[in-house]
Amino acid sequence: MIPATYPTREEIARLTARMLLEIGAVNFNTKEPYILASGLPSPSYIDCRKLISFPRIRSTLMDFLTVTVMRNAGFEAFDNIAGGETAGIPFAALVAERMALPMTYVRKKPKGYGRNARIEGAMSEGQRVLLVEDLTTDGGSKLSFVDAIRETGASCGHTAVIFYYDIFPETEKTLGDHGVALHYLCTWWDVLAEARAQEAFDEVTLSGVEAFLKDPRAWQAANKR
């Protein structure tokens, strides 16, 4: 069912941050930084995959994501909802259910046998496709998914995520230059503000995380092992 209520963008961001903190999806550690997929260190790590195990929070956030996309892009803007392998698949299915649209998913690379397909499900030429994922950092990984969608003859000018890092200035330009608009629920800045309001972490940790968020490249260079 398409949600009928429309919280403000600011309230959606605050509540999303609160829910991520509540389920332990937010991890801050300035003493022993996490190592990201890039191999670089970070004092913060977000695990949006945990959301699938919390039905009430999962449902609320999918309502938020659906209304955010419709408000920003239009109520009749899409014909197909595609999830990016693997984290985007459950969220794409939930958004597609709410919007009463077909759901597909995009593999990171061809599976190497059978049809050797990257697109699973029915996607056809001319369809307007929304790419759904759990999060985005610098936007780079989205481009491969978008290109795979466009190779079918469909169009993809929008991607929606639950969480956007919002600390790398090139992200929205990278997507924009590829003809893709980004829609999201909250950022690290929203999570940091809510963590402070809740006193979810000690101030030393929060200040250390804030230093990273303000200049992540410099922080990573100084803490690289």
Please count the structural domains in the chain.
1
Residues 143/178, Cβ–Cβ less than 8 Å: yes
Is 141 annotated in a binding site? The answer is yes
Percent above pLDDT 90 for the chain: 80
* pLDDT tens digits, 90-131: 999 999 999 999 999 999 987 666 566 899 999 999 999 999
158 part of a folded domain: yes
Say which CATH number the domain at 163 has.
3.40.50.2020
| Tokens of residue 38, six digits | 């890039």
Report the chain's mean pLDDT, rounded to a whole number.
93
Was 136 annotated as part of a binding site? yes
- Among 98-112, 158-172, 189-203, the minimum mean pLDDT is found in 98-112
Q: Is 137 marked as binding a ligand?
A: yes
The answer to whether residues 25 and 50 touch, using CB atoms and an 8 Å cutoff, is yes
Whether residue 31 lies inside any domain: the answer is yes
Is 151 flagged in the annotation as binding? no
Secondary structure of the chain as H, E, C letters: CCCCCCCCHHHHHHHHHHHHHHCCCEEECCCCCEECCCCCEECEEECHHHHHHCHHHHHHHHHHHHHHHHHHHCCCCCCEEEEECCCHHHHHHHHHHHHCCCEEEECCCCCCCCCCCCEECCCCCCCEEEEEEEEECCCHHHHHHHHHHHCCCCEEEEEEEEEECCCCCCHHHHHHHCCCEEEEEEEHHHHHHHHHHHCCCCHHHHHHHHHHHHCHHHHHHHHCC
90 domain residue, yes or no: yes
Q: Residue 1 has what pLDDT?
A: 62
Give me 17's structure tokens.
Answer: 């941050």
- 134 labelled binding-site residue: yes
Domain that holds residue 61: 9-216
pTM above 0.85, yes or no: yes
Q: Is residue 207 part of a domain?
A: yes
Tell me: is residue 111 an annotated ligand-binding position: yes
31 annotated as a binding-site residue: no
More confident residue, 88 or 4: 88
71 among the known binding-site residues?
no
In a domain, 27, yes or no: yes
22 within some domain: yes
173 is in an annotated binding site: no
Are 91 and 83 within 8 A, CB to CB? yes
Residue 108 burial (CB count, 10 A):
13
Instruction: Tell me whether residue 3 is in a domain.
Output: no
Q: With bands split at pLDDT 50, 70 and 90, how would you rate the model's confidence at 186? A: very high
208 marked as part of a ligand binding site: no
Tokens of 103: 């759901």
Longest Cα separation, the chain = 54
Cα(124)–Cα(109) distance, rounded to whole angstroms? 19
Q: Does residue 2 sit within a domain?
A: no
What is the Cα–Cα distance from 142 to 125, expressed in whole angstroms? 20
Question: Residue 115: what pLDDT?
Answer: 64
Confidence of residue 139 (pLDDT cuts 50, 70, 90): confident
